[in-house]
Amino acid sequence: MTEENKLASGNLSYMATVRAIVWKDLTMEWHTGQILSVMLVFSLTAAIIYNFALYGSLAAARDASTGFLWVTILLAGTLGLNRSLMAEQENRSLEAILMAPIDRSAIYVGKVISVIIFTLAMEAILVPIFTAFFNKPFWRPQVLFILILGTIGYVAAGVLITSMTVQTRTREVLLPVLLLPLTLPVVLAAAQVTAAYVAAVPPEWSEVQFAVSLVVAYDIFMVTAGFLTYHYVVEE
Amino acid sequence: MIKISGVTKKYGMNAVLRGVDLHVRPGEFVTLVGSNGAGKTTLLRIVATLMKQSDGELLVGGWSIPGDAEKVRRHIGMVSHQALLYGDMTAAENLDFFARLYQLDHRQERVAEALQMVGLLARQRDPVRSFSRGMLQRLTIARATLHEPDVLLLDEPYTGLDQEATRLLDDLLSRESEKGRTIFMITHDLARGLDLCQRIAILNRGRIARIVERQEVNAAEFLALYGDVTRSVKERKGAQG
């Protein structure tokens, strides 16, 4: 289809729009490294503090390590979300995107994908560090799988909430106040599954099935909610 | 091309636009002037589909806003006093991103042509953050016209520009007008507003107070007319007080 026909018929490819948003976010991060660096500095500092604070009681530290990992991901993710969405407010560049003849939900999907990429990149560095510090098998495929699933749900909710709060003057306060309670179900379930799979004896599927199902259901719910409501969020 | 009929915009009890009527013909350059708070930016944002009117009818190229907003967006480009660009990307990357968004063919050629047109080809690999205000505004025009829109919306495009940058922007806008693009500009700078347009409208207290053909008035006459309109409003205010 020619460009004129594409524009005239409104038949712009949804996935091409999503790719454009992801390409833009990755290009900006390639130049500045701001999102990954802020997430990594925070998460590495947190990991070191946890490790040294509980140095005297290694057993307690190991028992709590799954909780530490998810708290670190949660808070570092909040920093990354804020930075990623703030970039759209500088020079009001989001308005230029909103004036393009695209389905606005594609902006949401694109932002979710790029923030997931940043968060997973941070987790790729964080997991070996937690494995080394706490001597727990965070590298197990089941653990990595639940980390990915939990990250999807958290970021899907995060992009939606951050898109609302980033337009307000009190965004630094509003984001954690709204996002952290909203993501509690997915984080609790994911942390429970993670803890089960880093135990000395891995669990039976039936033991974690409910929690995994909860994480998957949350992911589907949040992505669908964001997809359906994003255009209201960015509308004046 | 742009038909605004009885458009109102209210924020709670406060009406910013109170039944605006204005018709911009295809290929015409119309300037809308008015003092701060007259409702100019609100009206332009409604035409740009960034905001919904409370009441009234608005058609761009025959498409209704907000009903056919997505269709309208194919035919509009906007230059604001804000760059609407990403400071951390280069000039070429910014245009490439918008070319991807509009899914234009031959992206690289189009981006190079657009940069050439605004005289920024030599700076294509520089981050936008390092650009002067004038360069930013030229790049903004390249971004807004990349997809060859029929309608160009200008929101105070001369804000913060020095004389040289103003002259360059004048040239660019004249060229865009000669290409047959419909241009709708809002500004509080009466001299600039009058310079390029074919018709000029005065928005006052949320209503179109006057519409004047450019060739019918000189700058002094228009300034006097503008003064009359705003003075009469002040007098009304005084009488009410």
Question: Alpha-carbon dihedral of residues A53, A54, A55, A57, nearest 10 degrees?
Answer: 150
Residue pLDDT, tens place only, B145-197: 999 999 999 999 888 888 888 888 888 888 888 888 999 999 888 888 888 89
Residues A49-55, mean pLDDT to the nearest whole number: 84
Residue pLDDT, tens place only, A132-186: 998 899 999 999 999 999 999 999 999 999 999 888 888 888 888 999 999 999 9
Task: Kindly write down the DSSP assignment for every residue of chain A, as one continuous string.
Answer: --HHHHHHHT---HHHHHHHHHHHHHHHHHHH-HHHHHHHHHHHHHHHHHHHHTTT-HHHHHHHHHHHHHHHHHHHHHHHHHHHHHHHHGGGHHHHHHTSSS-THHHHHHHHHHHHHHHHHHHHHHHHHHHHHH---TTSHHHHHHHHHHHHHHHHHHHHHHHHHTTSTTHHHHHHHHHHHHTHHHHHHHHHHHHHHTSSSPPPHHHHHHHHHHHHHHHHHHHHHHHHHHHHHS--
* Integer CA distances (angstroms), B34 to A194, B206, B211, in order: 62, 10, 12
How many angstroms separate the CA of residue A16 from the nearest CA in chain B? 7
pLDDT interval class at B235 (50, 70, 90): low
| Measured distance CA(B57)–CA(B42) in Å, rounded | 15
- Burial code (b: 16+ CB inside 10 Å, e: under 16) for A195-216 equals bbbbeeeeeeeeebeebbebbe
Put simply, the chain A residues between 11 and 50 with a CB less than 8 A from any chain B CB are: 12-13, 16-17, 19-20, 23-24, 27-28, 31-32
Q: Is B41 on the interface with A (CB under 8 A)?
A: no
Place of tokens 């503090």: A49
| Measured distance CA(A171)–CA(A165) in Å, rounded | 5
Whether residue A36 is contained in a domain is answered as yes
Whether residue A3 is contained in a domain is answered as no
Do the chains contact at B86 and A93, CB–CB below 8 Å?
A: yes
| Measured distance CA(B53)–CA(A185) in Å, rounded | 40
Residues B128-154, mean pLDDT to the nearest whole number: 92
- Probe site for chain B from A2, A3, A4, A22 (most B CB atoms < 10 A): A3
Whether residue A56 is contained in a domain is answered as yes
| Measured distance CA(B58)–CA(B65) in Å, rounded | 6
How wide is the angle at C-alpha A63 spanned by C-alphas A61 and A64, nearest 5°? Answer: 65
How many angstroms separate the CA of residue A186 from the nearest CA in chain B? 33
What pLDDT does A122 receive? 96
Q: Is A9 on the interface with B (CB under 8 A)?
A: no
Can you say how many angstroms the Cα of residue B76 is from the centroid of all Cα atoms in its chain?
Answer: 10
Tokens of A37: 């660096």
**Which among A46-55, A133-142, A219-228, B173-182 has the top mean pLDDT?**
A219-228
| Measured distance CA(A85)–CA(A111) in Å, rounded | 8
Of A216, A233, A183, whose CA–CA distance to A77 is shortest? Answer: A183
pLDDT interval class at A53 (50, 70, 90): confident
SS3 for B91-127, per residue?
HHHHHHHHHHHCCCCCHHHHHHHHHHHCCCHHHCCCE
Do the chains contact at A91 and B88, CB–CB below 8 Å?
A: no
Q: Is B89 on the interface with A (CB under 8 A)?
A: yes
Of B142, B194, B137, B185, whose CA–CA distance to B162 is shortest? Answer: B137
All residues of chain B having their beta carbon less than 8 Å from the beta carbon of residue A23 are 97, 100
What pLDDT does B51 receive? 92
pLDDT interval class at B76 (50, 70, 90): very high
Of the candidates A91, A101, A102, the beta carbon closest to that of B82 is on: A91
Q: Is A109 on the interface with B (CB under 8 A)?
A: no
| Measured distance CA(A81)–CA(A65) in Å, rounded | 24
Whether residue A87 is contained in a domain is answered as yes
Number of domain units in chain A? 1
pLDDT interval class at A1 (50, 70, 90): very low
All residues of chain A having their beta carbon less than 8 Å from the beta carbon of residue B102 are 7, 12, 100-101
Do the chains contact at A91 and B127, CB–CB below 8 Å?
A: no
| Measured distance CA(A41)–CA(A79) in Å, rounded | 11
| Measured distance CA(A76)–CA(A140) in Å, rounded | 22
All residues of chain B having their beta carbon less than 8 Å from the beta carbon of residue A101 are 70-71, 73-74, 102
Of the candidates A20, A32, A99, the beta carbon closest to that of B78 is on: A99
Biggest alpha carbon–alpha carbon distance for chain B: 62
Place of tokens 């009929």: B5
Whether residue A1 is contained in a domain is answered as no
Residue pLDDT, tens place only, A4-36: 545 555 557 899 999 999 999 999 999 999 999
Name the residue of chain B whose CA is nearest to A11's CA.
Answer: B103
All residues of chain B having their beta carbon less than 8 Å from the beta carbon of residue A99 are 48-50, 73, 76-78
Class of residue B7 by CB neighbours under 10 A (exposed 0-12, middle 13-18, buried 19+): buried
Quote the ipTM score: 0.88
The parent domain of residue A22 ranges over 12-233
With contact defined as beta carbons under 8 Å apart, do A118 and A84 qualify? yes
Whether residue A5 is contained in a domain is answered as no
Do the chains contact at B50 and A92, CB–CB below 8 Å?
A: no
B186 phi-psi bin (left φ>0, alpha ψ -120 to 50, beta other): beta
Name the residue of chain B whose CA is nearest to A87's CA.
Answer: B86
